[in-house]
Every structure is written in structure tokens, then in C-alpha cells.
Amino acid sequence: MTIRILPAIGDPDAARAVSSLLNQLPDAEPAPAVADSTALIDALAGAAAGAGTLPAGAPPAGPPSAVEALPEVVLVHERIGPTPALELIREVALRFPAVGVVLITTDAGPALFSAAMDAGARGIVGLPLGYDELAARVQAAAQWSAGVRVHLGGSPETLPGPSGTLVTVTGAKGGVGTTVTAVQLALAARAAGRSVALVDLDLQSGDVASYLDVQFRRSVVDLAGIQDISVRVLQDAVHDHHTGLGILLAPEEGERGEEVDDRAARQIIGALRSRYEVVLVDCGSQMQSANAAAVELADVALLVATPDVVAVRAAKRQVRLWDRLQIRKAEDTTTVVNRLTRNTEIQPPLVAKATGTQVARTHVPAAFKELQPCVDAGRLQDLDGRSTVKQALWALAGELGLVDSPAARQGRGSHRARSSLTGRKRKAITTGAAPGSGAGPGPASGSASGSGSGPVPRFGARRGPAAAAGGPGPFDPAGPYEEG
């Protein structure tokens, strides 16, 4: 669904900033900003007059054709004039009830929020503007507007579809199991009956096609230059795999990955989320503008690392990079520990301490011999159900809520509100079964435990007095280090 947006902003600098963000919204069709309240009312009346007039004082309900000619969302800046912003919102709500109005203001306090709601606004966006907040308010106002238009005689097809869950999988470094994790999570969600899209945004060295034995001539690059991604265009670019997955591949020529920028990535992901219940994105281990945008938009951002010093330090660098670029905060990232054994000196609690992220309760055991035949054959979907790796990754999908029934998903918010990922059980894991001793999440949890009853020793801890005093070892990944 295309969302038509009409900004009403008097300040030219603010108008340029808002227009820049609106142009990045997927499926958005922003109009040039109007400078004052009179111009806004005239523009709305003129749009409606193309199919049916709406004079001042006319009853709210107009002809369906007049309603459909109006923009779905109007953005009103707090400094608009000559009519004050709240009075202008009230007038728009009375004369054009099918238009969702969003107020842009520096004061997002409860008093102004209540006054704006009373006037008829559908939301408030605080200044300075942020992409995520603006996108959420515009989408909510557009969905409300579409519902009103259906009741006023519009087509039900204009209702926007449900927004799918976006999960990104990023590697701390190359070779930690990023693609295997993404593929198995997608297969688990599909086996639970959900529609799933698997996107390879490792644009220079994506291997999803190799792991699933896919030969398809189209890739994500074919969608990069398209302004309005329709359902038909999306169907042509997405490969329908026999497992039921919709797969959007990375380009075969790695240099073409530069054609996919952050704006294209946002549009592509938005189009996929409107069609699929779950969108899994393999972001690889190298940050570019496209996969950085995916991580920023994600409901769940996974960071895959192995329990060794090099990988943990790489994960720490990745988290710091996201934080510096304001892509994602460490506490909003979930680290998945792959190739874990009972005898590994670096255990998940230490990974959590070193990276500052949440660590998934489900850990993936080290069992490459189970994977090798399927990886060599390019048929990862044929991995035996008795594989401890598959059991752990499918249990991880359950922990992330990707295999819930639709009824169980009612009312669930984003990953920030999900109790299973908030670190409520962040504590040292006690002694349990060895990896592969059972089915389901049991083996994954047991693989994280130590073999003794005492605390897990810190990697590289000095033996003797220094260790007894609790001093860090020379290779302590949680401590400071110099890069270079």
C-alpha cells in the first residue's frame, strides 16, 4: 500500500529534514510541504474537489471517490501558522475525518499529548526527528486512515497487511556460522506454518544459494532501482524454494552489491514485511549501508559468535560500531553462542559481560560432522532431525518466538518488550547434560554447563596467587585491549 503524506511545515530547514526522512520510508509518497495552515486546508479541499467537493461546514462523510483522493497522513509542525497547530488539527479532523494527522513537536509531554489526542491527532513525533519513531507514527496513522476509508465506502484492499517480524543475523567475524543459523531459523519458522522470506544481504560474498542449492538469475540488486515495489515485481525477484521459503539472493557479481544502498534496503525490507510473516536477513559479517539499515529496523538483531577470544573481541567491536553509528544499542542485541562445548573456557556469561549484550539461553553445540554432508551437498534443508545443531537452532527459533501459533503471538510487542530476550535469566548456568544427550532445547542448554560444580574459570586466568586474587589473565576478552 502506498502511503500519501502531506507535510505542513513553515520552517524551510525543518521541511527539508522531514522530507529527507519521508523519502526513506518504504511505500511512502510524500508531497511537497505546504508552508501554512491556509495552504494545507486549500490543498486538502482541492484534492477532495477532484472527485467531490467538501465545503466548509459540510458533513464529515463525503463520497468514497472524494475520500480516496485525500492523502492518508498529514504531518503538522507545532510552529505552523497562522492557525495554531492544535486548532488546525481539529479543523482537519472535522472536515477530513479519513486523514490521519500526526503532530511534530519539541514537547512530547503528557499534557500536550492529551491535548493533541483531544483535537483529533493520531500521534505525536518528538523533535529532533528519528527515523524509527517517524516511520512508526506514519504507519499507524496510515493504517487507521485505511480502516476509516473502508467504513466510509472505500475498498478493503487498501488496508495495509500485517507487518512481519524482521530478524537479522550478523556474524561477529567470518566463519562463525551466520548463514547456517539464518537458514535453520527460517526453516524452523516455515515448518511452524508461517510464511517466511530469507534475504541474503551479505552482498559481496553471500552463500545462501550455495547452502540451499538454488540457481536463480534474479537477486536483491534487481529491486534496488525500483521506486514502487509492487507485489508482481516482488514475486519476480523472490525465488520460491521447494521448502516453502521465499529466497531473495545476493548478487552473483559481488561488485554489484554497491547498487543496494540503505534506502533501497529499507524499501525492499518494507515490501517483504508487508507480504511475509517472518523476514530473516543474513547480514554477513561486513557492515555496509544496506545491512546496517536492516539491523536498525530489526525486531530481533542476532549476533553470532564462537566461544574464542578472537570471535568475542570481534563481537565487541561490532557492538561498539553499531553504538557509535547509532544503529543499535548493545542491550537491544542478542548474541548467539555457536560451537559451544562443556570444556570451552569462555562460557556464555563471560560473552555477555564482554559484549554488553543479552545472550540467548539456547546455545549451539560444536558438531560440524553432522553438518558436513549437507553443507558439501548444498542441501542444508536435509539436515537430520536428530542433529544436535538442528535441535539447538530450532529451539532458538522457539525462544525468539518464530514458531509460536498465531494465538500465542497476539499482543506480543517488539524484541525490547519480550521477556525471553530481556536477560531476566542472565546468570551462570549450572551443571547440566552434555551436548547431544537429549532432544529439543535440552541439549543446547546443557552444552553451556561446566563439568564441575565450581564456577567456570576465566579464559587465560593466571594460575597461582594472581588467579586467587581474581586478577584478569592476559587474554581476558572482557577487559580493555588495544586494536591495531
Instruction: Give the residue extent of every domain in the chain.
Output: 3-158, 165-404+435-446
- pLDDT category of residue 231 using cuts at 50, 70 and 90: confident
User: Can 3-158 and 165-404+435-446 be said to share one CATH topology?
Assistant: yes
How big is the CA angle at 384 (ends 378 and 388), to the nearest 5 degrees?
Answer: 110
User: How many angstroms separate the Cα of 308 from the Cα of each of 6, 288, 406?
Assistant: 53, 25, 38
Report whether 14 contacts 82 (CB < 8 A). no
Mean pLDDT calculated for residue range 342-355: 93
- pLDDT category of residue 254 using cuts at 50, 70 and 90: confident
* Residues β-bridged to residue 165: 278
Decide if pLDDT at 253 tops 60.
yes
Decide if pLDDT at 130 tops 90.
no
Residue-wise pLDDT tens digits, 352-368 = 999 999 999 999 999 98
The C-alpha cell of 134 is what? 517517524
Query: Beta strand pairing status for 165-171 and 239-240?
Result: unpaired
| Higher-pLDDT residue of 8, 132 | 8
84-88, 161-165, 400-404: which range is least confident on average?
Answer: 161-165
The class (CATH top level) of 165-404+435-446 is: alpha beta
Task: Spell out the residues 6+ positions from residue 65 whose beta carbon is closer than 8 angstroms to its own.
Answer: 51, 52
The C-alpha cell of 237 is what? 525477484
Residue-wise pLDDT tens digits, 371-411 = 999 999 999 999 999 999 999 999 999 999 998 644 334 33
Cα distance between residue 126 and residue 437, in whole Å: 52
Residue type, 348: P
- Among 326, 288, 287, 324, smallest CA distance to 303 is for 287
- CATH number, domain 3-158, options 3.40.190.10, 1.20.1560.10, 3.40.50.2300, 2.30.140.10: 3.40.50.2300
Cα distance between residue 475 and residue 460, in whole Å: 5
% of the chain exceeding 90 in pLDDT: 50
Q: Which burial class, exposed, middle or buried, applies to 151 when counting CB atoms under 10 A from its CB (0-12, 13-18, 19+)?
A: exposed
- Among 350, 272, 347, 358, smallest CA distance to 319 is for 358
Decide if pLDDT at 36 tops 70.
yes
- pLDDT category of residue 50 using cuts at 50, 70 and 90: low
Residue type, 356: G
